[in-house]
Amino acid sequence: MKCDIVLAGVGGQGILSIATAIGLAAVSNNLYIKQAETHGMSQRGGAVQSYVRLSDKPIFSDLIPSGEAQLVLSVEPMEALRYLNYLSPDGFVITNTTPFINIPDYPDVDALLKLITSLPRVVAIDAENVAKTAGNVKSSNMVMLGAASPFIDIQVQSLEKAIMDIFAKKGDKIVAVNLSAFHAGRAFTEQKITVKNKKQ
Amino acid sequence: MLKKLLLGAEAIGQGAIDGGISGVYAYPGTPSTEITEYIQENETAIERNLHQQWSANEKTAMEAALGMSYAGKRTLVCMKHVGLNVAADVFMNIAVTGINGGMVVAVADDPSMHSSQNEQDSRYYGKFAMVPVMEPTNQQEAYDMTIAALELSEKTGVPVMIRITTRLAHSRSGVVLAPMARMENPLSLPSDPMQFVLLPANARKRYNILLAQHPGFLKYSEEASWNRFEEGPDRSLGVICCGIAYNYFRENYPDISPYPSVKVSQYPLPVKLLKQLESQVDEILVLEEGYPLVEEQLKGFFERGKRVIGRLDGTLPRAGELNPDLVALALKIERSAGQTPPDLLVNRPPALCKGCGHHDTYRALNEVMEEYGKGKVFSDIGCYTLGALPPYNSIYSCVDMGASVTMAKGAADAGLFPSVAVVGDSTFTHSGITGLLDAVNEKSNMVLIIGDNESISMTGGQDSSAFGHIESICLGVGVDPNHIHVLESLPKNHELLVKLLREEIDYNGVSVIIPRRECIQKLARQKKN
């Protein structure tokens, strides 16, 4: 088993909660893990990324080589594009479609979304909307983790357990909301992939 | 067997606790901050009541650590690479005095300058001071080496440096912890009462002691388990891999390397291992994160030996951090380049947070400075450095901690009018106070703006040494109380700040204006908890 994931977003969007959940699940499955993060200046609204590497064999590099990532998992649509050079030829882009516009020259949103949906292997999801339906708009990152989860070769129970551990301090209600957000994201991808397979 | 998921920086913190330190001393700086933060939050460290408060700057941190070592206890002092410049005076001299309790200096370099002004390589400082340097390859080594470095420091009587870089500092992996943590040392004075007295006659004696230790340091390097020769059948090339560069080499050969190689994680360079490699191969590739320190030493001025390649001949880029792709290129391995990101993509640089008080300061400053033209505001290191970028374009310097104050003074000396400095609260107490004293003594015609957000914000909101002291420091240094102003940096005070700036620019002498409002991020965190 080997899975390299580039997590992308904007400083302050909290991509590290996704990385932490994957990390905890990987450790409980006795997998090797390396997870490189962005700290410092970029956290002030700049582009941030995290490289998550999972394997059943020891991992050397903390950085993912170009063209080897199975997933680019982005919580912001334009940021998904920034890391396409890491994506392997059969890799998937999983991205939120809600733009985070904090720069004056942000591209035209319609053109951006059109480009994203035209990528060969992509799951584009309105994570805020799905999170709202699941109970709380703030759990959109767990929607994104859920949407990526069918591509990550870790038992779904391990990811659920990780989410419970991360949010345990905040009480049962928050745990439940985040779990339901996770499952809503997962269901979205599963349905999309099934439909696609049927079409083929 | 206890395994913890730790950042490289955190692994050093855990290693220091398990290695029996009695305290950590540090000033925050990316990518070193998390070493100290880890110790601040660690249960064992709290139980043991280890010293863990932030110091005013890296020099005060290292001197306090030296005091703890003088008293016989083990200690860790942490900083980023440029922080070691601030502490360089004490660092160079404690190699000569030596230590009493074990002392480790952990320095985190930032090649590619993710959050820094330069990418200087701290291994040069280690070589300069002539002390052993350890350079972990991964999180496990960062942990193991910190324990070993504390031991080596006590065995050799000198401080030991641990050098990491951004990628290791901020990457997490599983770390197996030692079964037993060491106890702290008891209080004990140095056996030689003259050891720490660097009067010339004694300093010469101490310096000779340090010089005589080099063969011993070399022996420790050659026997260290993390320095090793690894066999390979193809002898057309030999590879020297320093620290984290080893990972990028092995990423390209995960099972077995075709080339013989030497992994270097402790300095002085293990000469025996390098000679063994040199005798077997036609050409040597040096992979090192940072400056070409090893490459330069091996290459020699006249290049008479076997060919040495690396950053100096263009096999690898001269600047910036390494990665698996660059190392693959150097090894002539063809890899997929991945897709090119589309043209639609634009840069997203960092920016001041919505609602940040610095925004209000820059808005007023820009309004006032409009009539004087560009290039007359000096600044410093912190969130407010982002004022150099659009939409503000307010400031024209960011050099080193505190330089805004002294550059504004020097420019005023030269006749620049107005001469304005913008500094943050913690940068002011880090290294701005002495510069302000110079300005007061000469009645320099300048305006100092101390943007006080009551925390060290860029590194994550650590406690600022300046908290509650800024006005009294300015008064104590001798600034005229009629020219010290404090106001809340809020949009409603815009006109007031504009008026104060205009008045103080017109005053011929030193003025200090302190716009104050708590960091918005810190406020949000407090509300959350």
Query: For each of chain B's 529 residues, which pLDDT tens digit applies?
Result: 788 999 999 999 999 999 999 999 999 999 999 999 999 999 999 999 999 999 999 999 999 999 999 999 999 999 999 999 999 999 999 999 999 999 999 999 999 999 999 999 999 999 999 999 999 999 999 999 999 999 999 999 999 999 999 999 999 999 999 999 999 999 999 999 999 999 999 999 999 999 999 999 999 999 999 999 999 999 999 999 999 999 999 999 999 999 999 999 999 999 999 999 999 999 999 999 999 999 999 998 888 899 999 999 999 999 999 999 999 999 999 887 788 889 999 999 988 998 999 999 999 999 999 999 999 999 999 999 999 999 999 999 999 999 999 999 999 999 999 999 999 999 999 999 999 999 999 999 999 999 999 999 999 999 999 999 999 999 999 999 999 999 999 999 999 999 999 999 999 999 999 999 999 999 988 887 7
Tell me the torsion sign for CA atoms B81, B83, B84, B86: positive
Instruction: Give A46's contacts in chain B (Cβ within 8 Å).
Output: 348-351
pLDDT of residue A195: 62
Among residues A73, A78, A71, the alpha carbon closest in space to that of A49 is found at: A73
Which run of H or E residues covers position B267?
strand B266-267
Minimal CA separation from A125 to chain B, in Å: 19
Q: Name residues 12-51 of chain A within 8 A of B (Cβ).
A: 12, 23-24, 27, 32-47, 51
Residue B452 CB partners (closer than 8 Å, separation 6+): B424, B425, B466, B470, B514, B515, B516, B517
The residue of chain B nearest to residue A53, with distances taken between CA atoms, is: B173
pLDDT of residue B9: 98
For residue B322 the two structure tokens come to: 């390494």
Interchain CB contact of B244 with A (< 8 Å): yes
Q: CA A143, CA B484: separation in Å to the nearest integer?
A: 52
Q: CA B258, CA B64: separation in Å to the nearest integer?
A: 49
Q: Name residues 85-144 of chain A within 8 A of B (Cβ).
A: 85-89, 102-107, 111-112, 115
pLDDT of residue A44: 83
Q: Do B122 and B165 meet the contact criterion of CB atoms below 8 Å apart?
A: no
- Tell which of A15, A31, A44, A138 to mutate to test the B interface (max B CBs under 10 Å): A44
Per-residue pLDDT of chain A (200 residues; tens, 9 = 90+): 999 999 999 998 889 899 999 999 998 999 999 999 988 777 788 999 999 999 999 999 999 999 999 999 999 999 999 999 999 999 999 999 999 999 999 999 999 999 999 999 999 999 999 999 998 999 999 999 999 999 999 999 999 999 999 999 999 999 999 999 999 999 999 998 876 655 44
Q: Do A174 and A134 meet the contact criterion of CB atoms below 8 Å apart?
A: no
Among residues A81, A168, A42, A115, the alpha carbon closest in space to that of B115 is found at: A42
To the nearest whole percent, how much of chain B has pLDDT over 70? 100
pLDDT in tens, B385-403: 999 999 999 999 999 999 9
DSSP letter at B462? Answer: B
Q: CA B407, CA B523: separation in Å to the nearest integer?
A: 32
Nearest to B346 among A35, A59, A103 (CB): A103
Report if pTM > 0.90.
yes
Compute how many other C-beta atoms are within 10 angstroms of the C-beta atom of residue B518: 15
Q: CA B348, CA A102: separation in Å to the nearest integer?
A: 8
The residue of chain B nearest to residue A107, with distances taken between CA atoms, is: B344
Over its C-alpha atoms, chain B yields an Rg (Å, rounded) of 25
Instruction: Write down how long chain B is.
Output: 529
CA triplet B450, B455, B457: central angle to 5 degrees? 95
CB contact under 8 A, B247 and A61: yes
Dihedrals phi, psi of A38, to nearest 5 degrees: -105, 120
Which run of H or E residues covers position B436?
helix B433-441
pLDDT of residue A198: 52
Q: Which residues pair with A92 in a beta bridge?
A: A71
Q: Determine the 3-state secondary structure of A181 from DSSP.
A: helix
Compute how many other C-beta atoms are within 10 angstroms of the C-beta atom of residue B114: 18
**Tokens 């300061």, located at residue:** B361
State yes or no: cis peptide before B390, omega within 30 of 0: no
Pairing of strands A32-36, A47-55: antiparallel
Q: CA B28, CA B8: separation in Å to the nearest integer?
A: 16
> What architecture (CATH level 2) is domain A2-199?
3-Layer(aba) Sandwich (3.40)
Minimal CA separation from B120 to chain A, in Å: 18
For residue B167 the two structure tokens come to: 């990628």
Interchain CB contact of B337 with A (< 8 Å): yes
Q: Determine the 3-state secondary structure of B6 from DSSP.
A: strand
pLDDT of residue A194: 74
DSSP letter at B254? Answer: S
Instruction: Give A113's contacts in chain B (Cβ within 8 Å).
Output: none
pLDDT of residue A196: 61
Instruction: Give B384's contacts in chain A (Cβ within 8 Å).
Output: none
Instruction: Write down how long chain A is.
Output: 200
ipTM: 0.93
Interchain CB contact of A194 with B (< 8 Å): no
Minimal CA separation from A186 to chain B, in Å: 26
Compute how many other C-beta atoms are within 10 angstroms of the C-beta atom of residue B241: 26
**In sequence order, which ranges of B228-339 are alpha helices (DSSP H)?**
245-252, 271-280, 293-299, 324-330
Q: CA B149, CA B143: separation in Å to the nearest integer?
A: 10
DSSP letter at B196? Answer: T
**Burial tier of A161 (Cβ tally within 10 Å: 0-12, 13-18, 19+):** middle
CB contact under 8 A, A88 and B324: no
- Chain centre distance of CA B463: 18
Pairing of strands B171-176, B3-7: antiparallel
Q: Determine the 3-state secondary structure of B108 from DSSP.
A: strand
- Tell which of B4, B167, B172, B453 to mutate to test the A interface (max A CBs under 10 Å): B172
pLDDT in tens, B29-77: 999 999 999 999 999 999 999 999 999 999 999 999 999 999 999 999 9
Q: CA B466, CA B429: separation in Å to the nearest integer?
A: 6
pLDDT of residue A200: 45
What structural domains does chain B harbor?
3-187+195-223 (3.40.50.970), 228-337 (3.40.50.920), 357-527 (3.40.50.970)
Q: Torsion over CA of A23, A25, A28 and A32, rounded to 10 degrees? A: -40
Q: How far is CA A135 from CA A74, A125, A140, B117, B222, in A?
A: 21, 17, 10, 45, 60
**Tokens 């000569």, located at residue:** B96
3-state secondary structure A2-69: EEEEEEEEECCCCHHHHHHHHHHHHHHCCCEEEEECCCCHHHCCCEEEEEEEEECCCCCCCCCCCCCE
Dihedrals phi, psi of B300, to nearest 5 degrees: 75, 160
Instruction: Give A63's contacts in chain B (Cβ within 8 Å).
Output: 167, 248, 323-324
pLDDT of residue B436: 98
Q: How many helices (H) and strands (E) does chain B have?
A: 22, 18
Nearest to B323 among A43, A63, A83 (CB): A63
Residue B162 CB partners (closer than 8 Å, separation 6+): B12, B104, B105, B106, B107, B133, B134, B135, B136, B142, B145, B146, B149
Nearest to B5 among A23, A36, A46 (CB): A23
CB contact under 8 A, B115 and A41: yes
Nearest to B171 among A34, A87, A89 (CB): A34
Instruction: Give A31's contacts in chain B (Cβ within 8 Å).
Output: none
Nearest to A60 among B251, B348, B351 (CB): B251
Q: CA B25, CA B425: separation in Å to the nearest integer?
A: 20
- Chain centre distance of CA B44: 26
Q: Determine the 3-state secondary structure of B256 from DSSP.
A: coil
Minimal CA separation from B412 to chain A, in Å: 31
pLDDT in tens, B418-463: 999 999 999 999 999 999 999 999 999 999 999 999 999 999 999 9
**Tokens 């933060």, located at residue:** B37
Nearest to B174 among A27, A46, A61 (CB): A27
pLDDT of residue B335: 83
